[in-house]
């Protein structure tokens, strides 16, 4: 049986899914039609219910819960993993100018935008672009500041950019829980037994990747967009952890808190009351 599967070309995702999509583990009769896309494209496709299984930003989850369930395995969640707000310079009292600032955001329905909105609810000038365009947009003065994610956390300082605030730390200090960045969802139309099998296979794939780490497979390096091996490993070390194996009670509680925060920030949008997570 073949299923559509979408995730990003970033090292954390290719690290997680390598063994599954390249049959390094027994996939129990399943094969996958894989598409590698940036997270905002995957978020948009989730809104359209385009794929059977997909990585998404948890920021879009409230809008897709009627079509999808969240799997236990394969996601990115943890402490110290959040997006950063950066600028060319860090001026005194910069917080007071944020209402007028133009801010580059890596997608409208991303967790990064939700975390930014939590910290700066009155900023009126977000500009949405792909995550890997944000550093240059700040450097070239196209925007006043930008929210960076993924490997840009490890490259912005070398380009002379300054951190204004760690939005992940803001979340952690305010709410005292891990940050749910991205999760894996499965279409509710699939039989529950099949969805559970997919969940279990993703966990096997993560375990396989951990067992062979720090070796990097060609699948990871070939899709890493000219990243150095050290940055690839930093990326994996930051975003792939025990929560990637299984959300667990703490991970699910963090996702539910994010949905609560979303409801406070977007009171006109009422998320589905259907079950959110795949059955254990």
Residues 146 and 85: beta-carbon distance below 8 Å = yes
d(CA 86, CA 218): 32
Token pair 């529950």 in the structure block, residue: 192
Of 6, 36, 33, 30, the residue nearest 219 (C-alpha): 36
Q: Burial of 40 by CB count in 10 Å (0-12 exposed, 13-18 middle, 19+ buried)?
A: buried
Of 146, 184, 157, the residue nearest 55 (C-alpha): 184
205: tokens are 């794939």
CB under 8 A, 24+ apart: contacts of 223-227: 223/9, 223/11, 223/14, 223/36, 224/9, 224/10, 224/11, 224/14, 225/9, 225/132, 227/11, 227/151
Residues 108 and 128: beta-carbon distance below 8 Å = yes
Which residues have C-beta within 8 Å of that of residue 31, sequence separation ≥ 6? 1, 2, 3
Active site residues: 150
Residues 73 and 199: beta-carbon distance below 8 Å = yes
């Amino acid at each position: 049986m073949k299923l559509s599967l979408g995730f990003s070309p970033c090292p954390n995702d290719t690290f997680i899914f390598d063994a599954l999509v390249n049959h390094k583990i027994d996939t129990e009769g399943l094969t996958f039609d894989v598409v590698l896309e940036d997270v905002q494209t995957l978020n948009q496709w989730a809104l359209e219910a385009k794929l059977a299984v997909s990585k998404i930003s948890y920021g879009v989850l409230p809008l897709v819960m009627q079509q999808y369930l969240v799997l236990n395995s394969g996601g990115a969640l943890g402490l110290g993993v959040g997006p950063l707000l950066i600028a060319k310079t860090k001026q005194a009292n910069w917080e007071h100018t944020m209402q007028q600032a133009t801010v580059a955001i890596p997608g409208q329905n991303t967790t990064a935008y939700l975390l930014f909105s939590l910290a700066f609810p009155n900023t009126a000038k977000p500009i949405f672009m792909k995550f890997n365009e944000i550093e240059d947009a700040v450097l070239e003065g196209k925007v006043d500041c930008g929210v960076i994610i993924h490997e840009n956390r490890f490259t912005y300082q070398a380009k002379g950019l300054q951190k204004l605030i760690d939005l992940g730390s803001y979340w952690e200090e305010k709410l005292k829980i891990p940050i749910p960045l991205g999760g894996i969802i499965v279409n509710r139309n699939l039989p529950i037994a099949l969805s559970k099998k997919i969940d279990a296979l993703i966990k096997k794939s993560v375990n396989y990747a951990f067992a062979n780490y720090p070796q990097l497979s060609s699948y990871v390096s070939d899709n890493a967009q000219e990243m150095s091996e050290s940055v690839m490993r930093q990326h994996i070390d930051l975003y792939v952890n025990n929560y990637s194996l299984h959300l667990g009670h703490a991970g699910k509680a963090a996702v539910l808190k994010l949905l609560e925060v979303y409801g406070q920030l977007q009171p006109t949008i009422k998320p589905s009351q259907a079950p959110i997570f795949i059955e254990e």
